Amino acid sequence: MKAVRIHEHGSVDNLRYEDAPEPRSLGPRDAVVKLKAASLNHIDIWNRRGLTGVKLTFPHILGGDGAGIVAEVGDEIENIKPGDAVCLYPPSGCGHCEFCVTDREYMCVHLRVLGEREDGTYAEYVRAPARNCFPIPPGLSFEEAAAFPLVYLTVWRMLLTNAGLKPGEHILILGVGGGVASAAVQFAAYIGTHIIVTSSSDEKLAKAKSMGAEHGINYKCADFAKEVRRLTGKRGVDVVVDCVGGESHVKSLASLAKGGRFVTCGATDGATPATDLRRIFWNNLKIYGSTLGDRAEFRELLNFMEASRTKPVIDQVFPLRDAAAAQKRMEEGKQFGKIVLSIDS
């Protein structure tokens, strides 16, 4: 099969479009999926550069999100069959720890995620546990079905499970344009909240407003914390989505109303920001970290996608052989929404 692999950590030049062995050693509870599309996530770049701390076995196939047609299933599988169109729930656990036995595999200390400790979806075929294969919501293309699982599940957990976002509340979403931020805008708009977004691009701010954001702040031109206070009559927002980190962290906390909720799943601008703990306890703030979510939440997300007819925002589709160009676009921060790889075989 054709795949995009890395043979060592490094730049986008290390991504090689080449022949690779098809997945073998199919277990009784596994499935092989013939992929039609895969999508990019920032974790792909960090794994390529060797920044996650996960020891990869080279050559390695990146990619945690994918959708396609079931090609083969193990002897004990009943939930899917060859020919089914599926999208993939990315994580798998050890099956034995306190988190796995309570169906919280995403917190397993031996977590295995496609594209990290397992070969991923930048390929024509991928092997995955059959219980991680879910029917594609009606109305979604393969490209759209590959674009939402990892990011949209994480945002679902951040906004719905953890933050408990409610209609009429105010939410600040930092760095609009990436997959997480665009998904957060979609969910917040559907719920019926007052949305403020930040970006260094006026074009991205305009796109966010077309999706339901009420206000856009160019953080290169204004102090977004002061602007949020002004826009909310000095009250602040109920929820902040900050996956940027770095210097923005202090301003994010300053943007929250008393009793506000801060949610994060990343730190693209720095993971060790300065902070003022007094602001957290004086204002009774709640801070939630999120990565992925459980299968029950994934089923809720799939039901939501079907009932609401929500489709992920896709920035651009590249052929698999151009994965390096796709990752370069993400590294340069040019995208608005998800970048997808189309896999024709």
Q: How many CA atoms lie within 13 A of 85 on its CB side?
A: 13
One-letter amino acid of 276: D
Structure tokens given for 43: 């974790």
Report yes or no: 339 and 191 within 8 Å, Cβ to Cβ.
no
Whole-angstrom distance, CA of residue 235 vs CA of residue 152: 29
User: Helix, strand or coil for residue 293?
Assistant: coil
Our measurement of the distance from residue 90's CA atom to the centroid of its chain's CA atoms, rounded to an integer in Å, reads 10
Chain centroid to Cα 175, Å, comes to 14
Side-chain-side CA neighbours of residue 75 (13 Å): 3
The two beta strands, 215-218 and 194-199, are parallel
For residue 42, give the 3-state DSSP assignment. helix
pLDDT of amino acid 26: 81
Q: pTM for the full model?
A: 0.91
The token duo for 95 is 């099956």
Q: How many CA atoms lie within 13 A of 217 on its CB side?
A: 20
pLDDT at 35: 98
**What values do phi and psi take at 26, rounded to 5?**
-65, 120
pLDDT value of residue 177: 85
Within 8 A by CB and 6+ apart from 58, the residues are 6, 7, 8
Residues 305, 309, 312: CA angle, nearest 5 degrees: 65
Amino acid at 61: I
Give pLDDT, residue 291. 84
The whole-angstrom separation of Cα 153 and Cα 111 is: 17
Both tokens of 7, joined, read 């043979």
* 321/326 Cα distance (integer angstroms): 10
Would you write out the chain's pLDDT as a tens digit for each of its 345 residues? 999 999 999 999 999 999 999 997 788 989 999 999 999 999 999 999 998 888 899 999 999 999 999 999 998 888 899 999 999 998 888 888 999 888 888 898 888 889 988 899 999 999 999 999 999 999 999 999 999 999 999 999 999 999 999 999 999 999 998 889 999 999 999 999 999 999 999 999 999 999 999 999 999 999 999 999 999 999 999 999 998 777 788 899 999 999 999 999 876 766 777 788 888 898 999 999 988 899 999 999 999 999 999 999 999 999 999 999 999 999 998 999 999 999 986
